[in-house]
Amino acid sequence: MLKPHLLHPAALAHPPLAQTVSRFSLNKLGVAARLAILAGVSGTLLLGLAPSAQAQSPELSVTTTKSLSIPAGSLAQALKTFSSETGISLDLDDKTMQGMTSPGLAGQYSPPQGLALLLSGHDLVAEPAGEGHYKVRRQAGVSADEVMVVQGRQTYAGGQVASDSRVGLLGNKHFMDTPFNTVSYTEEYIENEQAQDIGSLAGATNASIYVPSKRSIFETFYMRGFSTTASDMTFNGLIGMAPNMRSSTEMAERVDVLKGPSVLLNGMPPDGSVGGSINIMPKRAGKDPLAKVTATYESDGLGGVHLDLGRRFGEEKQWGVRFNGVYRDGDTPVNDQQHKMELTSIGLDWRNERARASLDLYRQHEEVDGVNYFSISSIASTVTQLPTAKKGDYSLAPAWAYTINDTRAAVLRGEFDLTDSLTAFAAWGQREGGYRALITRNTLLNNAGDINAMAIRSERDGTQRSGEAGLRGNLGTGPVDHAWSLAATHYTSELSFKDRMYPKHTITNYDHLDFGSAPDQSGFGAVTSSSDAKLESVALVDTLSFLDGDLQWTVGARHQTVESTNYGASGAQTSHYDESRLSPATAILVKVRDDLSLYTNYIEGLGQGGTAPTTASNAGEIMKPYQTKQYEVGAKLDLGQFAHTLSLFQIAKPSAYTDPVSNVYGVYGEQRNRGIEWDLFGELTPELRLLGGASYTQAELTKALNKANEGNQATGVPKVMAKLGLEYDLAALPGLTLTGNTQFVGKRYVTDDNRMSLSPYTTFDLGARYTTKIATKEVTVRASVQNLTNHAYWLGSWSGGNGSGLSGGLGSPRTFLLSTSLAF
């Protein structure tokens, strides 16, 4: 039993409600008062008369929380900063902590919580040595009833999501200190969900994300009603370095999702996605050695194995190695479809007191036979009735269709603490690979279900290089604290294309598809086109913290340059684009209470502008990068073990076309998405974990070439979505967890004129997980059934206005998943 005078973080994590209310009433200022003080402070700063702090903050009690902003760096320096900011005295031995690093802290913490997180992952304890005084030393040989063993975690209650996530240029931030809507899925959740790609992971419980296709030629999904592709995902913060076409999840330690455009934070993505961004954080070796093998099975015969190894080396464990190897092969639940995935990844990291570095190497190879690319990619104008959806095992692709994707990449990242408050960082990566595909484009011709199928052979090869370098630091100017970052980014892409559309057209019918034999592909191989692209930017952002961090103002801008050149089959230049734009952003976060944050932001997205066609009166005129604008307000409520976020947003994305009256090409079109999102996560009780939410999105065509379409809902975007995943631990049988998931997706329109729509659908998943030990080795068995009722439904459009409302194909059939993990 712990001695009465010792601190215990579990007991102090949630102070009594009465105490919280008392602290709020005595120590927290109203919003109006805060803004008045901010105005006075701003005026003082502008006059250059900001006073310096005169009095030392009183020592905090162990239950009082405080806003902490401690940068990543050496553990010793982080603890010294913690001691200075909290008034808690720490006896430290720099030699003991040599080579140990800390990710830092950003958020509201009590001293025990903050100390626990800083020491997390190290074999250290904090031993009470008097009132408000601790001695930090190694854990070995210390009994639990003599000291407080400090164990912290960066995952939120329940372990499914992380408390922190990477927010681009802002670095890692606690969700309550982030003035944007973010969520970060943990390695534990990825494993338990048995998700094999990013779409399956993020689309399972996130009501802001809609995945309109599965095992298509590449991953695509909607975020806040706008299409996002695999090409725009980042890998360890670098654009263009995620696997080509699809990302297998086994090498991810965390998957960070940021909703809405993010040019200031991440730079312009290669494909110009504006609905949101996804970052894959690669796995790192933990403090304890890891050796785990997982066998997987998916109906109707897709088996696989996953090997995960990790270990740290060196006198101070400064070197880390994490290896992941995956092999899956077999028949999928869809008729005449086979899937193969191979992944090998190695993550190396090194750290000492002032520097940190990592190197990630991976190769991913994927093959899909019977691949469903476009499904029904277009619908004739004479069609007034859509065919009834069939069960998901019905294939809309010929058995001879295929795709082969291959990616090889290396990503190097490092940072060095120039001083205790200034860090230099840099990263560089190179990715090579491409795809080979033979697919069909299918057009629905009439109400009888006749389909015209045209075969296409396509190949793409390319090399992408991505880098960034910059500085980030912290400084104080009187009563105002600054956390700033300055960065420059550079991205290039060299691509070559081989495309051939075969003149043979097959007329078949939806109810009895027969695509005939594969086309004769002899003579295929000449490059038909190529392109070079370059994205460069410089960005500066500063978060100003007032009132002890209770009021935070983030302001910044990025100057983005976009250069693109296209070449024909002969190598002659066919077009060139070189434009730039300044993209500002600002955000405000107010901590009304320790458990309640309110925020608002304005941020932009950018996409390459168009060039006036030769038929326009301004032929050849180049448009500046298209500027998408988002306005958002939101609230975040953290109840300690359970959290809610609520967001209201508006995103307006422009487009260009030739005006039919003036014959002038210009930026006349616009799609404006307005919506509300509610997310929830955490432990409702110690046995019950929930993860999900609901959203309403009005994706309106506010300006369109066809004026009759103005005011219509954009193709493929559901207005209403609701998702909920749950886990329940059975007390009667320790180690057994029941799991379930349900999704509701509302009506989607299939054409811009909104003359036809797809019915709403609801799916249910059920499963169980059992963890036990066999001969001292931990074994986990997971089993689940997706689409339990085998409901038949159409998914929707895979890319909004670029594809018909049936291009996403049919929904997934009833699917059985089984996996067994053995830690040895």
Distances (CA, A) of 683 to 397, 595, 700: 43, 16, 37
Contact status, residue 509 vs residue 448, Cβ threshold 8 Å: yes
Compute the average pLDDT of residues 514-538.
91
Annotate 570-583 with b (16+ C-beta within 10 A) or e (fewer): eeeeeeebeeebeb
Least confident interval from 103-117, 411-425, 569-583, 732-746:
103-117
pLDDT tens for residues 454-489?
A: 999 999 999 999 999 999 999 999 999 999 999 999
Pick the CATH number of 164-282 from 3.40.30.10, 2.170.130.10, 3.40.1440.10, 3.30.50.10: 2.170.130.10
User: Going by C-beta distance under 8 Å and a sequence separation of 6 or more, which residues neighbour residue 56?
Assistant: 87
Residue 131's pLDDT is: 65
The three-state secondary structure class of 170 is helix
Compute the average pLDDT of residues 723-727.
98
Does residue 790 register a pLDDT over 80? yes
pLDDT tens for residues 748-763?
A: 999 889 999 999 999 9
Residue 184's pLDDT is: 96
Q: What is the CATH number of domain 9-138?
A: 3.55.50.30
Distances (CA, A) of 371 to 334, 399, 436: 10, 8, 12
Give whichever of 41-50, 146-155, 682-691, 803-812 has the largest mean pLDDT.
682-691
Does residue 9 register a pLDDT over 90? no
Residue 139's pLDDT is: 54
Placement of tokens 């038909």 in the chain: 528
Q: Over pLDDT 70: what percentage of the chain?
A: 88
Distances (CA, A) of 274 to 537, 652, 681: 17, 10, 25
Least confident interval from 21-35, 129-143, 314-328, 582-596:
21-35
pLDDT tens for residues 340-397?
A: 999 999 999 999 989 999 999 999 999 999 998 778 888 998 999 999 999 999 999 9
pLDDT tens for residues 94-118?
A: 656 766 777 788 777 777 778 888 8
Placement of tokens 């806040």 in the chain: 224
Q: How far apart are CA 459 and CA 58, in angstroms?
A: 67
Residue 799's pLDDT is: 59
Specify the DSSP element, H or E, that contains 117.
helix 111-119
**Could you say which DSSP state residue 61 is in?**
P
Give the number of C-alpha atoms closer than 13 A to the C-alpha of residue 91, restricted to the C-beta side: 11
Amino acid identity of residue 122, one-letter, is H
Please report which confidence band the pLDDT of residue 10 belongs to, taking 50, 70 and 90 as the band edges: very low
Residue 24's pLDDT is: 34
Residue 535's pLDDT is: 97
Residue 505's pLDDT is: 77
DSSP readout, 546-577?
EGGGTEEEEEEEEEEEEEEEEE-TTS-EEEEE
Residue 91's pLDDT is: 79
State the pTM of this model: 0.83
Compute the average pLDDT of residues 622-635.
96
Q: How far apart are CA 92 and CA 114, in angstroms?
A: 16
Mean of per-residue pLDDT scores for the chain: 87
What is the chain's percent helix, strand, coil content, to nearest 5? Answer: 10, 55, 35
Distances (CA, A) of 528 to 142, 434, 436, 520, 595: 70, 15, 14, 18, 58
Q: Which two tokens stand for residue 653?
A: 């994305």
Does residue 58 register a pLDDT over 60? no
Does residue 140 register a pLDDT over 90? no
- Please say whether the structural domain 306-518+527-823 has been given the CATH code 2.40.170.20: yes
Compute the average pLDDT of residues 50-70.
51
Residue 632's pLDDT is: 99
Q: By CB neighbour count within 10 A (0-12 exposed, 13-18 middle, 19+ buried), where does 74 fall?
A: buried
User: Going by C-beta distance under 8 Å and a sequence separation of 6 or more, which residues neighbour residue 434?
Assistant: 244, 405, 406, 459, 460, 461, 462
Please report which confidence band the pLDDT of residue 148 belongs to, taking 50, 70 and 90 as the band edges: very low
Residue 138's pLDDT is: 65
Please report which confidence band the pLDDT of residue 412 belongs to, taking 50, 70 and 90 as the band edges: very high
Amino acid identity of residue 486, one-letter, is L
**Pairing relationship of beta strands 234-235 and 276-282 according to DSSP bridges:** parallel
Q: How far apart are CA 724 and CA 206, in angstroms?
A: 8
Map out the domains of the chain as residue ranges: 9-138, 164-282, 306-518+527-823
